[in-house]
A and B are shown apart, each in its own frame.
Chain A
Amino acid sequence: GIQVEQSPPDLILQEGANSTLWCNFSDSVNNLQWFHQNPWGQLINLFYIPSGTKQNGRLSATTVATERYSLLYISSSQTTDSGVYFCASYGSSNTGKLIFGQGTTLQVKP
């Protein structure tokens, strides 16, 4: 099945800095979602982005399916951005199995 790899595994930023989180997958994908898991465990949908670029406030995401990667860009980071960021994909078959990467743990310091 599809493998999803995220990098970096850990990231520490000073408030106000920008950062890019990467998601690479081993096979073609039909769906790519980015999630933010806050310190209380809530998994928040950030983007559903099978291809192209989307922006939502200080966050933007780009998926290039032909090159098998997606990236999440966080600008002007805030302490509330801290948590774990996951990307996930179904892969090329309609099995209902959303395959998650291991996550990037982000800590934003004031």
Chain B
Amino acid sequence: DGGITQSPKYLFRKEGQNVTLSCEQNLNHDAMYWYRQDPGQGLRLIYYSQIVNDFQKGDIAEGYSVSREKKESFPLTVTSAQKNPTAFYLCASSKSVQYNQPQHFGDGTRLSIL
């Protein structure tokens, strides 16, 4: 079945450590997105990518980095510069950015600080 796979489901980070969250899609979508969700809140955009080797900052990009070397993969690195990384992270994809296509989401990764 086509879909979006995020791994791991749960991740723990030590102080000063970088961690990478994986997001893979087999929907042949051009656009991919990373969102952060804090308890009781809506989702906020971290980064998005319209095409391979291209990405743009969202509203809360500080302390995060991404890469888009393959169409199907969009990993997110939470760096040590992100002082409050504990949150639920959701990856999404859509056919394109330009035509406001609906976004589809993975099951998320819960990140906590040790």
Contacts and interface: CB of A to CB of B under 8 A. Distances in A.
Interface in B53-98: 56, 58-59, 88, 90, 92, 97-98
Interface residues of B, number: 27
Nearest to A96: B97
Contacts of B104: 45
A94 interface: yes
Nearest to A48: B102
Which among A35, A48, A100 has the greatest number of chain B C-beta atoms within 10 A? A100
Contacts, number: 57
A31 B33 contact: no
Interface band, chain A: 20 to 34
A41 B88 contact: yes
A88 B33 CA distance: 14
Interface residue SS majority, chain A: loop
A41 B107 contact: yes
A95 B33 CA distance: 12
Contacts of A43: 43, 90, 105, 108
A66 interface: no
Given A41-B108, A94-B98, A100 B42 contact: yes
Contact of A96 (B48, B102, B107): B48
B100 A41 contact: no
Interface of B: 31, 33, 41-45, 48, 50, 56, 58-59, 88, 90, 92, 97-105, 107-108, 110
In the complex, the 4 A-B pairs of residues with the closest C-beta atoms, listed nearest first? A100-B42, A96-B97, A48-B102, A31-B100
